[in-house]
């Protein structure tokens, strides 16, 4: 079996062959090591930003927006019954108001800017 050098095993020159004595300066940069260092730096920056309150959890943001949108929807759909109780409107007018509000909400949900028709 052929004798393999440390360079062959590591795939990089030993410190002495890079013009340095062992213990001076560590390993030479490689593309893999550079990517690892960049990824570790990015992770550290992300964690620090999260601790400073500059980043929010996407799931938490989605849950809060969902709750807010459902609250707005419920408030809008309650308008006809509040108007009916407050102003004594006939059932036909309340039904028309309810239908228009539901159409507007359906249009918003469909991305049509509140116009479902």
| pLDDT of res. 112 | 82
Please state whether the predicted TM-score (pTM) of the whole model is above 0.85.
no
Taking alpha carbons only, the member of 112, 110, 47, 108 closest to residue 76 is: 108
User: Which parts of the chain register pLDDT below 50?
Assistant: 22-23
Q: Are 97 and 80 in contact (CB under 8 A)?
A: yes
**CA Rg, the chain, in Å?**
33
pLDDT 10s digits, 7-41:
666 666 655 555 555 445 566 778 899 999 999 99
Spell out the domain ranges in the chain.
58-109
């Amino acid at each position: 079996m052929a004798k393999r050098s440390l360079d062959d095993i590591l795939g990089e020159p030993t410190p002495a062959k890079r013009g340095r004595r062992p213990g001076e300066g560590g390993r030479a940069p490689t593309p893999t090591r550079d990517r690892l260092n960049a990824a570790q730096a990015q992770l550290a920056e992300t964690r620090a930003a999260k601790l400073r309150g500059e980043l929010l959890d996407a799931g938490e943001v989605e849950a809060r927006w969902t709750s807010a949108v459902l609250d707005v929807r419920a408030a809008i759909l309650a308008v006809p019954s509040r108007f009916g109780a407050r102003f004594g409107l006939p059932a036909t007018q309340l039904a028309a108001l309810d239908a228009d509000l539901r159409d507007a909400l359906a249009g918003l949900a469909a991305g049509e800017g509140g116009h479902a028709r």
